[in-house]
Structure 1
Amino acid sequence: MVTVVADALGVTLGQRHVVRDVSLAWQAGTFVGVLGPNGAGKSTLVRALLGLLPHSGTVAIDGAPRAALSRAEIARRIAYLPQGQTLHWPVTVERLVALGRLPHLAPFSRLSPADRDAVAAAMARADVAHLAHRTATELSGGERARVLLARALAVGAPALIADEPLASLDPAHQIEGMELLRAQADAGGLVVAVLHDLTLAARFCDRVLVLANGVVAADGTPRDVLTPALLAQVYGITAFAGENGLLVPLDRIR
């Protein structure tokens, strides 16, 4: 079980306040969608939570100040899938996914049978087991996205932060990816995903945090948050909201 709590988090890059005064409390067993238009500060927020950017305010993981935890301790508690990673080394998919086990390994140690089982299970869950012996740099964009998700799952951490995990995926794999993340939360994990697809967020997430110009515009259940007024204010769009969490963006507000 894991919790992530932030108080008055702020990030300034150059002269620009990219994230301002963000407070949040995320619990295990929850699927959180971080939403907002381009440039709203979503990726900056999750990177600051992990200590990857200088910031003001405080972050606690499992009640402990994040600053008191080593990088390996943070990595064992929270797996991180950044957006838009470029693969430079022509390693096999299996070896790439196995890198997810590094937080658990001592220097120069080899994978144990338990590590190999974790890698195989992650590849199966992300539907990339059939790619195990392919060279990672030769994959399509969608295949690469699923392999990188498998690497994050291989960590076996109680929490997962994924930044745009659906990028490059076709509709079937987008749904499959959201089902996988939903199952991770249902099994007791904390899942946080930066998303652009409002329909999938409304359908699968327990909670959504909407950023606009670096501040929290709304935070709550999709049904309470993704209202016509909020979508008009933050995104400048109209949308149809139906039953069972159905949300369909319709048009720009001109």
Structure 2
Amino acid sequence: MVTIAADHLAVTLGGRRVVEDVSVHLAPRQLVGILGPNGAGKSTFVRALLGLIRHGGTVTIDGERPDRATIARQIAYLPQGQTLHWPLSVERLVALGRLPHLTPWSRLSARDHEAITRAMARTDVTMLADRIATELSGGERARVLLARALAVEASALVADEPLASLDPAHQIEGMELLRAEADAGGLVIAVLHDLTLAARFCDRLLVFAQGRLVADGAPATVLTPELLASVYGITALRADGLIVPFDRLR
């Protein structure tokens, strides 16, 4: 289990401040949803947490400033919109998730193979093991890439739009997987656009607007009519704790 903290995190890209002065403390056993309209700074924020881009402020894991190798072993990352360039089999692609645990020229161990098998079973892609990953549908590819992230078996998982290209049944299944990771003791951070699924499955929501963190808390306290109007410009229907976007504000 790990704890990730950002202190006055800020990111400037192309001379423009994309993330502005964000401080958060993210603890284990939580599914944290990151919400906000397009261009709000969500993906930039998670990439800064992972040390993938330069930033101001500090990011710590368990109170320490980590190196790249530590981040790779402790935090699995599922980026958005990945393009597959090499005609690898699905099983070999998922096996790439074990790279942070390997030394140069080492072979996969029995433990590695067990992790790969578990990840493929959990994402319902075992039957695709021998298929070429570049020939998969968008939904199949999304599930395989999630399997690769789960194969790391890290203490934390960061998933950037993990539901993209998935049909409704697999969207729910995907959220159930993320929920199970958090319930098992992990820290799960997911960039999401579906307010209904975020409200249903997440413990905590961070809402971004124009690079700033404008709300942080439980879904019931964060997704207010006022916030939906100011951040998204919408109204929503509410029933049994769920949020269903209904209309644009004109």
Band the TM-score falls in, shorter-chain normalisation: over 0.9
1:253 aligned onto 2:249:
yes
Q: Deviations over 1:127-149 (max 9, x none)?
A: 10110000000000000000000
Q: 1:148: which partner in 2?
A: 145
The alignment partner of 2:244 has SS state of: strand
Q: Which runs of 4+ in 1 moved over 6 A?
A: none
TM value normalised by structure 1: 0.98
1:164-203, aligned counterparts within 5 Å?
Answer: 164-203=161-200
Q: Letter of the aligned partner of 2:216 in structure 1?
A: D
CA distance in 1, matches of 2:138, 2:69: 29
Q: Which runs of 5+ in 2 are unaligned?
A: none
Cα drift, residue 15 of structure 1: 1.8
CA distance in 2, matches of 1:139, 1:2: 34
1:94 aligned onto 2:91:
yes
CA distance in 1, matches of 2:7, 2:228: 26
Q: 2:4: which partner in 1?
A: 4
Q: 1:50: which partner in 2?
A: 50
1:227 aligned onto 2:240:
no
Q: Deviations over 1:110-129 (max 9, x none)?
A: 10011000000000001101
Cα drift, residue 235 of structure 1: 0.1
TM value normalised by structure 2: 0.99
CA distance in 2, matches of 1:73, 1:50: 10
CA distance in 1, matches of 2:38, 2:86: 30
Q: Letter of the aligned partner of 1:29 in structure 2?
A: R
Q: Deviations over 1:189-211 (max 9, x none)?
A: 00000000000000000000000
Cα drift, residue 240 of structure 1: 1.2
Q: Letter of the aligned partner of 1:8 in structure 2?
A: H
CA distance in 2, matches of 1:59, 1:115: 29
Q: 1:128: which partner in 2?
A: 125
Cα drift, residue 241 of structure 1: 1.8
Cα drift, residue 246 of structure 1: 1.0
Q: 1:83: which partner in 2?
A: 80
Cα drift, residue 14 of structure 1: 1.1
The alignment partner of 2:189 has SS state of: strand
Cα drift, residue 184 of structure 1: 0.4
CA distance in 2, matches of 1:72, 1:26: 20
Q: Letter of the aligned partner of 2:43 in structure 1?
A: S
CA distance in 2, matches of 1:177, 1:86: 20
Cα drift, residue 41 of structure 1: 0.3
Q: Letter of the aligned partner of 1:4 in structure 2?
A: I
The alignment partner of 1:75 has SS state of: helix
1:102-117, aligned counterparts within 5 Å?
Answer: 102-117=99-114
Q: 2:15: which partner in 1?
A: 15
Cα-Cα RMSD? 0.6
Q: Letter of the aligned partner of 1:39 in structure 2?
A: G
The alignment partner of 1:53 has SS state of: coil
CA distance in 1, matches of 2:151, 2:15: 38
CA distance in 2, matches of 1:26, 1:187: 16
Cα drift, residue 242 of structure 1: 1.7
The alignment partner of 1:64 has SS state of: coil
CA distance in 2, matches of 1:198, 1:130: 31
